Amino acid sequence: MLLAASRGGQVSSTGVVSRFRIVRTTVAHRPALLKSSTVPPRSGNDNQLLIQALTTAGKSPLLALAKRIADAGCNLSESRVSTIGTETSLMLLASGAWDALAKLETALTKLARDESLRLVHYRTSPRANSSHLLPYLVEVVAADRPGIVARIVEFFSQHGISVEQLNSTRYQAMQTGADMFQAQFTIGIPAEIHIAALRDDFLELCDGLNLDAIMDPVKF
């Protein structure tokens, strides 16, 4: 702030100021203060931990794992639980802040000390966008014999088609007692592939292998 004493724009010779006025001055074009650059924190979904567990069917660690994920402040993004033979397999995907995942890793390390539990966990990244893949469901039923899954997976691989999920089982037909095989594949078909031609080729393969099969789009 600048004080200026004046009389008609002149300072009196006696040095006495008869009147004064206050002039406010501002500094023009003052450069803005520069803020230090910061790296934005990664969002919760960018930090993921994949957990795989295998144990006997009667000792499923699903509850223990779900509680530890919640207690660490993480979200259970995806889960797969299945019983194969006498074993139960779990695959869980937890997401959250970096420090929350670190807390969860510590808890899992303590849980892994249980000798009846085979537990593996490691950091992973979000899956890249796969919107160019069309989801289709393939179902196969046939008399059980070795090599069916291998032949079907080989066909998909040769056409650049990814197998997203696979469930297969052997069973005895209730009516005849025959040994049967059933499988369900969820596949991702690249959008540029001609669906009708692919279906024809696949059904021709199944006819040659004496398999009963269908290929339909996933509708949900």
pLDDT of residue 131: 78
Tell me the three state secondary structure of residue 25. Answer: coil
Q: Are 140 and 206 in contact (CB under 8 A)?
A: yes
pLDDT digits (tens, 9 = 90+) for 51-97: 999 998 888 889 999 999 999 999 999 999 988 888 999 999 999 99
31-40, 121-130, 145-154 — which one is most confidently predicted on average?
145-154
**185: exposed, middle or buried (C-beta count within 10 Å: 0-12, 13-18, 19+)?**
buried
Q: Are 111 and 61 in contact (CB under 8 A)?
A: yes
pLDDT grade for 45, boundaries at 50, 70 and 90:
low
Question: Per-residue pLDDT for 186 more than 70?
Answer: yes
Q: Measured on CA atoms in the order 52, 135, 77, 46, is the torsion positive or negative?
A: positive
pTM value > 0.85? no
Architecture per CATH, domain 133-217, reads as: 2-Layer Sandwich (3.30)
CATH of 46-124, one of 3.90.1150.10, 3.90.380.10, 3.50.50.60, 3.30.70.260: 3.30.70.260
- DSSP annotation of 33: P
pLDDT grade for 25, boundaries at 50, 70 and 90:
very low
Beta-carbon contacts of 84 under 8 Å, excluding residues fewer than 6 positions away, are none
Residue whose C-alpha is closest to residue 91's, from 119, 126, 127, 124: 119
Q: Are 186 and 164 in contact (CB under 8 A)?
A: yes
Task: Give alpha helix (H) positions in the chain.
Answer: 62-71, 98-111, 148-158, 195-208
Q: Structural domain boundaries of the chain?
A: 46-124, 133-217
pLDDT of residue 33: 38
pLDDT of residue 23: 42
Beta bridge partners of 78: 93
pLDDT of residue 164: 93
* Fold match, 46-124 / 133-217: yes
